[in-house]
Structure 1
Amino acid sequence: MAHIIPFKAVRPTRDKVSLVAARSYQSYTKEQREARLRDNPFSFLHIVNPGYKFDKEISGQARYSLVKNRYLEFKEEGIFVQDDAPCYYVYKIVNREGREFNGIIAAASALDYENDAIKKHEDTIAYKEVVFKDYLKTVGFNAEPVLLTYPDNNVIETIIKEAQEKRAEFEFTTTYRDTHYLWLVDTPKTIKSIQEEFKNMPAIYIADGHHRSASSYLLYKDLKDANPDHQGDEDYNFFMSYLIPESDLKIHEFNRLVKGLNGLSKEEFLIQLDTFYRIENRGKTPYKPSKKNHFSMYLDGDFYSLYLRKTVYNIETSLDGLDAQLLYKTILQPILGIDDLRNDIRIEYSNGKNDIVNIKSAVDSGEFTVGFGMVPATIEQMKNIADDGLKMPPKSTYIEPKLRSGVTIYEF
């Protein structure tokens, strides 16, 4: 049973939403950030990078306080306006390839996160959870929804399609050539129907945003403990989410790039690799795997295919069959000596939306020694791992859609 409720979003005015909306701060290069901050006074980046106003790098609690100040200034200047009544927000993204993502922006329950009605498939890092929780507690808002996914539902699909028959409240295209649309759903009957459909679902799943979900849960616990009159319906009991049906979710792989061969020569490395895999040299032509438990490798100017020898690797759990886990257990850890996938500086990740050619370029440049490509995980694998209470290795999935910050804001 999932408790998904409408809320009163703070939103940019229609004429400024395209200027306000921003990708996540980390996705910009330094040059891109500086250009947007210099040329666009309405960008949400001005809120999350408040030091720009003072030409100074500011961090920690001082930055959090300034973020809140910049946000309040945007409200005072009428750039942001809060809706008068709670709404669900039907949201559509059409990316540059023409793929559509249709879902609902709403508030999800922190208690559902605690009770596993919102299921997780990825480990989080404790200190990152606490840092972002402290940030949320100071600024008092959340501007980037967590991406949740639910089983395809005919009632919700019909509601989304009916909402989209009207003129969109927002319609804007980004410089990435993705077009975004937003519609308000505020009629009591429709709101009740949406709530009931989510209540009838045994569980929904985090697709992207595990750290943000965990931080929102920590914030809920802090504010609950600090409130002697806690009732359970306060805004801090919920966090903003974008819920899309499983069929709309697009999962890409994350490829692996590694520096060095753990002291091994190329020949010694290939001999050890032969224990787990049947190896074929594919030459200079870029090669991409086509099925699970099958990897591509780029090493010293050549592409290789790696086929798992199943007699030497037992698949006993849902996690064991995940390619990211398989690669870790058979190559990265035992041969290349990489135990800590989150913190070892020898490994980096390249999302599979970028071509396999990126692996070749990274290795040919000398920055990395070897690269591994794989096929994407499936939604069924992700759900099975979450249902079994297991956790994927970091960077197991690169999931679309990616939302913009600042289009809808949730205050608590």
Structure 2
Amino acid sequence: MAVIRAFKAIRPRKDLAFKVAALPYDVMNSDEAREEAKGNEYSFLHIDKAEIDLDKNIGIYDEKVYKKAKENLENMISKDILIEDKKPCLYIYRLTMNGKSQTGIVGCTSIDDYINNNIKKHEHTRHDKEIDRINHVDYCNANTGPIFMTYRNNDEINNIVNEWTKKEAVYDFTAKDGVLHKVWIIDNEDTILKICNIFKEIDSLYIADGHHRAASAVKVGIKRRKEAGNYSGDEEFNFFLSVVFPDSDLNIIDYNRIVKDLNGLTPKEYIDKISGKFKAEVYNGVKQYKPCKKHTYGMYLDGMWYKLTAKEGTYDLNDVVSSLDVSILQDNLLSPILGIKDPRQDSRIDFVGGIRGLDELEQKVDSKEYRLAFSMYPVTLDELMKIADSGKVMPPKSTWFEPKLRSGLFIHKLK
């Protein structure tokens, strides 16, 4: 059973939605956020990354940052830039990129579903990142960024969405990256009840993106329960902001790797070592090698692209985690040959979302900032769900979803 609950969203005035809406806080650093928000006083980055309004010498985890986020949020509400709906609603959020749309229901999900694993995860989280968002949610008294979730396709929900989206959208704008964003408000109580009841028959929701936001929202909810002493379970802090999409709508793209050095090896020694686990061929096709099937990789080294193919014995097809391409690369090359034991912590490796293209990999290596790069074949949504169902987790940086949900279009107050 999955709980979806209507809520009174705090959201932008219709004429300001395109100016308020911002990319998630965790896809850019502080300098990039400052540049992104330059000249736009309405940008939600002033709330999600409030350090952009403070001296650069102030650390991003300083208490002043969270106080500034709260101040900026309250300021936008007081100026009617953000306005709270008068009654609880559900919302429909559609994003269209390159002609492909994904359409989800915006509502609140239950912290108990998260705790009881009715909301399934596929990633570990980092404590420092959790603490950051815990503080942000707690100071702002609100979930400011939605958790991106998915569920197995349901025709009943599709039919409701298809009918409702024939109405005029309350928001309809194209962001500067070319993604079209449309929002509809479901304010009919019978329709809301019907949707909520349908979700009660769905076994599980799956976090696609936003594990740190979800974990932090849940921990704030637990904290508020302890502070309250007695609570009914109906309080807003028992729920957190989510957008749930049918799995048939979603698209995972490649999440590529760049590495700073060859771990003391010469290029020849390195190629010789990897050849025990991978068939390495100089790629003589087009300029770059983008894998087109599982267990193959592109590798860029010294101005040349190689096609790598994992050899038999490097993975177990019966193990959904170890047979992932990201696991095969980590277990047979990055760790034993390049010495990168923990890719979450090792500063010698970085990750590049496939949305940036393979030119980005070449540029990083050709600049001498990095020594080599790997282009990956994307994880499938079916693999993600199987891993989450099994209670296992994927290796770090396995999935990259596009398009990115915008923050600022919906805010959920905790009380």
2:91 aligns to what? 89
Q: How does 1:271-350 map to 2 (within 5 A)?
A: 271-283=272-284, 285-350=287-352
The match for 1:70 is 72
SS at match of 1:354: helix
More divergent stretch after superposition (203-212 vs 168-177) = 168-177
> Deviation of residue 11 (structure 1)?
0.9
1:43 aligns to what SS in structure 2?
A: coil
**In the alignment, which residue of structure 2 is the partner of 1:383?**
385
Query: What's 1:236 paired with?
Result: 237
SS at 2:356 equivalent: coil
Q: 1:215: which partner in 2?
A: 216
Deviation at 1:120, TM superposition (A): 0.3
| Matched letter for residue 292 of structure 2 | S
Q: Is the contact between residue 283 and residue 306 of structure 2 (CA under 8 Å) also seen in structure 1? A: yes
Q: Is the 8 A contact 1:318 1:381 kept in 2?
A: yes
* Match of residue 151 from structure 2: 150
Contact 2:314 2:328 in 1 (8 A): no
Q: 1:186 to 1:323 in 2, by over 3 A?
A: same
Matching residue's letter, 1:10: I
Which residue in the other structure is 1:43 paired with?
43
The equivalent residue for 1:359 is 361
Q: Say whether the 8 Å CA contact 2:4–2:196 is kept in structure 1.
A: yes
Normalized against structure 1, the TM-score is what?
0.95
TM-score, with length taken from structure 2: 0.94
User: Which piece of structure 1 moves more, 7-16 or 169-178?
Assistant: 169-178
> Secondary structure of the equivalent of 1:224?
helix
Deviation by residue 1:192-215 (Cα, 9 ceiling, x = unmatched): 111111110111100000010111
Kept in 1, the 8 Å contact 2:254–2:376? The answer is yes
- Distance apart, 1:248 and its partner CA: 0.8
In the alignment, the residues of structure 2 paired with residue 135 and residue 129 of structure 1 have an alpha-carbon distance, to the nearest angstrom, of 10
Which aligned pairs between 1:95-174 and structure 2 lie closer than 5 A? 95=97, 97-174=98-175
Residue correspondences, number: 411
Aligned partners of 1:311 and 1:49: how far apart in 2?
46
Matched position secondary structure for 1:291: coil
What is the RMSD of the two structures over their aligned residues, measured on CA atoms? 1.8
Change (3 A) 1:205 1:31: closer
Determine the C-alpha separation between the residues in 2 that align with 1:238 and 1:386. 21
Which one is further off, 6-15 or 304-313?
A: 304-313
Shift of 1:136: 0.9
Which stretch shifts more, 303-312 or 181-190? Answer: 303-312
Q: Which runs of 5+ in 2 are unaligned?
A: none
Give, in angstroms, the shift of residue 401 of structure 1.
3.0
AA aligned opposite 1:405: S
Q: Distance in 2 between matches of 1:321 and 1:223?
A: 41
Query: What residue ranges of structure 1 are gaps of 5+ in the alignment?
Result: none
User: For residues 112 and 168 of structure 2, what CA distance do their matches in structure 1 show?
Assistant: 35
- 2:24 is aligned with 1:24: yes
1:257-308 CA distances to partner (integer Å, 9 max, x unpaired)?
1111111111111111111112211148311211111111111122111111
Q: What percent of counterpart residues are identical? A: 37
Classify 1:66/1:357 alpha carbon distance in 2 versus 1 (closer, same or farther; 3 Å). Answer: closer
Residue 194 in 1 paired to residue 195 in 2?
yes
**Deviation, structure 1 residue 26:** 4.8
Match of 2:9 in 1: 9
Q: Which amino acid aligns with 2:344?
A: R
Pair 353,272 (structure 1): closer, same or farther in 2 beyond 3 Å: same
Q: C-alpha separation between the residues in 1 aligned to 2:112 and 2:240?
A: 10
- Contact 2:51–2:65 (CA<8 Å) still a contact in 1? yes
SS across alignment from 2:342: coil
Shift of 1:28: 4.9
Question: Is the 1:51–1:57 Cα contact (8 Å) retained in structure 2?
Answer: no
Q: 1:28 to 1:183 in 2, by over 3 A?
A: same
Whole-angstrom CA distance in 2 between matches of 1:123 and 1:233:
29
Instruction: Give the CA deviation at 1:45.
Output: 2.5
Letter in 2 for 1:130: I
Q: 1:222 to 1:31 in 2, by over 3 A?
A: closer
| Contact 1:249–1:401, Cα closer than 8 Å, also in 2 | no
8 A Cα contact 1:130 1:218, kept in partner: no
